[in-house]
Structure 1
């Protein structure tokens, strides 16, 4: 079925990382994800046309195979057909990422967030945050404007991964103000991870053993201020926790973050990782696979296609991160003392011109043009980001 050597190599790696899938499911996932990367699109038409050309097949045959991959069993032709259980792939996805990180990394940052696809879908996803980018590792898709609570979906995503991360890892789970809930805080604690949840500044708190309740808005009153300590937050449904407060200059509002980590062992700066999840959705949509143009209407089919999106994104981020590690930093010692570079502000971290995601895409294309085999290597170190102190914290 597979004739193109690069598609075969891609499929072998997907098969190794997803051993629980059947051969047709592996081939479909590999074909979809490889086609997405090479066409920079999640369009069934574009991916089918590309795969047909490189694999020497008829477009109609490829299109039928790719469509059936995300369809439910009842919609497929033939007997002994079955639906792909997307949730069974969440744990292997996360293990795939963990096995590509530097061996000394013992901390992982996750983000729970939601994105809309026009007026069609809302996607709730749990993303692992890496080097200014991120990778979806668990998700659910529901129809837009459909009433209901997110708690059931959020619990399923977290529970699907609770046994995957080694016990020696420190895991923080970030979420923005719109997703804060007491059940989410407690669920994260119960699985042995650490909530890192931002809250609104409406409400009150008190500092034990004092019984006086104070407004949260008064914790930090002006840009440039920060505070941390153990508190009881919320007069209704009180929660004993750590409050990390920080108001950086140039920001309209402060960060008020609730966690179970002791104040001396955590930094509000770590919350700066969470905006990377916005890069995840940008890569899924405009910068990467153009998912916002999808014509799918069925949320279950969309969930299955998101598996190919996640594999494609994983490949680009991990390939780009290691390519960045291999690039040589500029040698400033060879420049004259009056060179313009010395008149620029000193940056503690390297300045990026493109993201790890786009670096991965360019690296893959260059490798193929140079007739290099398709492969993914473990990162030799963690690519530098403005908040990479989290990944260096307590690493051995």
Structure 2
């Protein structure tokens, strides 16, 4: 039984957005994510002690309830216990995020990335990128030393959410050099999205009208240069695509991006959105939930905890972005397409003192102290950062 009004309010929001969950599963998700936000920790001990004091319960009682929430069915007490299917939450989670974006937005940026948690886990994550931050919407966690290809995992994650984003949306999917594969490019294309995959510059390419293969390393040889064209990339496993190249000053290596956009339709700077993924991991770890200190050993239990952390992150990012919109409206939508501000290398620090994530946390604490009920509002526009040029240039 939930006794605290704020926890009740948050539970109602979570239950509404995750209607496929049973009542105990939804309340467990709400309680976990509420406790994680309030303690800024994913520690079972800290969250259970906080919730116990909030609800007037014994810490061990709360601890057992929270622990059972992420356990598999055989490990739980009782005959009719069942385990949470995390993959079934990906579509509702993505729909929840989409419902809070500005009404005029029809362009979405996703990033595929892999991160390690010490020598325990490798997390394969699909993140929606917005407001200089990001929110995981689908993921798979495997043992750090687990053998085998990641291909089946990426295929499953993409297939689970492919029909969620409206067909009229333009979706770019960015990934760094370590994840490039021709099958991944083709998979992204096959679901109606647009690959935006970075590659190394050691390979070769040729123009469709020529037979001579040229080194990718010769495209842009110094800072300040850019190039784009339709090409056939790689002599082995050739791929017909558009190649975007740019080398900005102070960057160690050039950006070489493969996409299915026509050269005149795409801007290589959109790849700068992918850096928001680094903010996601920072929010999960040092800035937020201290996930790097987890004591979980089971990948399946870790996947369920990632749902908690994803919901907590959604809450903070959306709340912080709403507050930022209210305090400083973005000027990007009013800028002409050729404006110099839309053609600068992306910088997450420029024009922002706090990330949307941290601003959300500060805003929540102030709201609670001012007796403002817990709520989430649709963004009126994207928060003001240079990396949001993608949305500003392409929103209807």
TM-score class, shorter-chain normalisation, is over 0.9
Q: Distance in 2 between matches of 1:302 and 1:387?
A: 31
Q: Which residue of 1 aligns with 2:153?
A: 153
**Displacement, 1:394?**
2.7
> Which residues in structure 2 correspond to 1:270-285 (within 5 Å)?
270-285=270-285
**Displacement, 1:384?**
1.4
Q: Distance in 2 between matches of 1:126 and 1:109?
A: 10
SS, match of residue 245 in structure 2: strand
SS, match of residue 394 in structure 2: coil
Q: Which residue of 1 aligns with 2:384?
A: 384
Q: Distance in 1 between matches of 2:389 and 2:352?
A: 17
Q: Distance in 2 between matches of 1:64 and 1:234?
A: 55
SS, match of residue 138 in structure 2: strand
Summarize deviations over 1:31-79 as a string: whole Å, max 9, x none: 0000000000000000000000111111111101000000000000001
Q: Which residue of 1 aligns with 2:118?
A: 118
Q: Which residue of 1 aligns with 2:64?
A: 64
**Contact 1:41-1:290 within 8 A present in 2 as well:** yes
Q: Distance in 1 between matches of 2:129 and 2:57?
A: 38
The alpha-carbon distance between structure 1 residues 44 and 234, as it changes in their structure 2 partners (threshold 3 A), is same
The alpha-carbon distance between structure 1 residues 328 and 194, as it changes in their structure 2 partners (threshold 3 A), is closer
Summarize deviations over 1:324-374 as a string: whole Å, max 9, x none: 011157xxxxxxxxxxxxxxxxx9x96111100000000011100001100
TM-score, structure 1 as length reference:
0.94
SS, match of residue 161 in structure 2: coil
Q: Which residue of 2 aligns with 1:49?
A: 49
Q: Which residue of 2 aligns with 1:233?
A: 233
**Contact 1:202-1:217 within 8 A present in 2 as well:** yes
Q: Distance in 1 between matches of 2:275 and 2:145?
A: 25
> Which residues in structure 2 correspond to 1:12-31 (within 5 Å)?
12-31=12-31
Q: Distance in 2 between matches of 1:146 and 1:86?
A: 20
Q: Which residue of 2 aligns with 1:325?
A: 325
> Which residues in structure 2 correspond to 1:1-396 (within 5 Å)?
1-328=1-328, 351-396=351-396
SS, match of residue 300 in structure 1: helix
SS, match of residue 158 in structure 1: helix
Summarize deviations over 1:91-114 as a string: whole Å, max 9, x none: 111110100000011100000001
**Contact 1:350-1:384 within 8 A present in 2 as well:** no
Q: Distance in 2 between matches of 1:114 and 1:354?
A: 25
Q: Distance in 2 between matches of 1:275 and 1:187?
A: 22
After alignment, is 146-155 or 14-23 more displaced?
A: 146-155
SS, match of residue 386 in structure 2: coil
TM-score, structure 2 as length reference:
0.94
Summarize deviations over 1:238-272 as a string: whole Å, max 9, x none: 10000000000000100000000111000000000
**Displacement, 1:387?**
2.1
Q: Distance in 1 between matches of 2:117 and 2:358?
A: 22
**Displacement, 1:148?**
1.2
SS, match of residue 226 in structure 1: strand
**Unaligned runs of at least 5 residues, structure 1:** 330-346
SS, match of residue 275 in structure 1: helix
**Contact 1:230-1:262 within 8 A present in 2 as well:** yes
**Equivalent residues, number:** 378
**Contact 2:132-2:388 within 8 A present in 1 as well:** no
Q: Distance in 2 between matches of 1:121 and 1:32?
A: 21
SS, match of residue 387 in structure 2: coil
SS, match of residue 277 in structure 1: helix
**Contact 2:125-2:138 within 8 A present in 1 as well:** yes
What root-mean-square deviation, in Å, do the aligned CA atoms of Structure 1 and Structure 2 show? 1.1
